[in-house]
Amino acid sequence: MTAPLTPPPGDDLPAVVDALRGARLRWREAHRRGGDGRELPSRELLAGMVQCLSGALFPMRLGPPTLRPENEDFYVGHTLGAAMVTLRQQMALELRHDARQRGDAAPAADAEALAARFLRTLPAVRELLDSDVLAAYQGDPAARSVDEVLLCYPGLRALISHRLAHELYRLGLPLIARVIAELAHADTGIDIHPGATIGAGCFIDHGTGVVIGETAVLGRRVRIYQNVTLGAKSFPTDGDGNLLKGQPRHPIVEDEVVIYAGATVLGRVTIGRGAVIGGNVWLTRSVAPGSVITQADASTAREAE
């Protein structure tokens, strides 16, 4: 027999509702929240927007299954229009929220103008993603076609979201960008902060457990395998012990570097062009171009330190 959907009679439910109201009011007062409806961007709406943008970028592969080539431009225009409506609304929410947190009467930027600037980045985003698809196809002997890469590979799913989120981050919309990044993280197990700069032709193979921090900089044609971390070694603080935000603290990875599974690279170090970082290496120092670093090399370096 199906359990009843209504709560059992008693005084517990009203008391809990009252207690939760009190907790909400205390939180809102402490954090200067208003009471005029939804204040923050919606994860659900942003997820739908990313799906629309993915379809507009790759209509015959990520668009609707009934799409015909003769209707491609109409679909792209219609889909981009719908996505931009959602994006403008979500941008306005973030901008108003930021203004309230600063104590300003009005947002410092205009959602309409920012959405237009973002829209103009999409051709360049498509070019970058084409280079990522090609890098994956050329770098994986198991890939039978570029279409298989785009349809199946979690690394490409994560990079589509990252390329979009990074443009929004650069436009001064870090919350929307972070929501998009975390949606991709939940789907793929690949955690790329939207602030990370990633050059053309990136290939994230397998991908599960990859972490790329906010201030990481990756050059062109970088290849990364599963469980790689490009993270921070330490977190600088101010005189009061508060973390300093936005400081360069993640690695710089130059062109054509390969980082194998399980490697951990920490701090603002530079991995020189063409270097190969072996599996399970723990690295906190810079590496010269063309170097091949194994676990034994990394252990010797740590002992010397």
Q: Where are the beta strands (DSSP E) in the chain?
A: 191-192, 197-198, 203-204, 211-212, 217-218, 223-224, 229-231, 252-253, 258-259, 264-266, 270-271, 276-277, 282-283, 292-293
Q: Rounded to an integer, what distance in angstroms lies between the CA atom of residue 268 and that of residue 284?
A: 8
Average pLDDT, the chain: 92
- 253 and 287 Cβ atoms separated by less than 8 Å: no
Domain range list for the chain: 41-191, 209-305
Q: Which distant-in-sequence residues (6+ apart) come within 8 Å of 157 by Cβ?
A: 184, 187, 188
Q: What's the pLDDT score for residue 163?
A: 98
What's the Cα-to-Cα distance from 43 to each of 71, 79, 172, rounded to whole Å?
A: 30, 19, 18
Confidence of residue 181 (pLDDT cuts 50, 70, 90): very high
Which string of DSSP letters, residue by residue, matches 156-219? HHHHHHHHHHHHHHHTT-HHHHHHHHHHHHHHHS-EE-TT-EE-SS-EE-S-TT-EE-TT-EE-
Residue 1 has pLDDT above 60, yes or no: no
- 263 and 283 Cβ atoms separated by less than 8 Å: yes
Question: What radius of gyration do the chain's Cα atoms show?
Answer: 23
- 274 and 292 Cβ atoms separated by less than 8 Å: no
Report pTM: 0.89
Q: List, for residues 238-296, the tens digit of each pLDDT value.
A: 777 787 787 899 999 999 999 999 999 999 999 999 999 999 999 999 999 999 999 87
Q: Rounded to an integer, what distance in angstroms lies between the CA atom of residue 104 and that of residue 90?
A: 19
Q: List, for residues 98-147, the tens digit of each pLDDT value.
A: 988 888 888 878 999 999 999 999 999 999 999 999 999 999 999 999 99
Q: Rounded to an integer, what distance in angstroms lies between the CA atom of residue 42 and that of residue 48?
A: 10
Partner residues linked to 287 by β-bridges: 271
Q: Specify the CATH superfamily of domain 209-305.
A: Hexapeptide repeat proteins (2.160.10.10)
Q: What's the pLDDT score for residue 4?
A: 53
As a whole number, mean pLDDT of residues 299-304 equals 54
**How many CB atoms within 10 Å of residue 100?**
16
Q: Which distant-in-sequence residues (6+ apart) come within 8 Å of 222 by Cβ?
A: 198, 199, 201, 202, 203, 253, 255, 256, 257, 258, 259
- 164 and 178 Cβ atoms separated by less than 8 Å: no
Whether domain 41-191 has CATH 3.40.50.10680: no
As a whole number, mean pLDDT of residues 202-224 equals 98
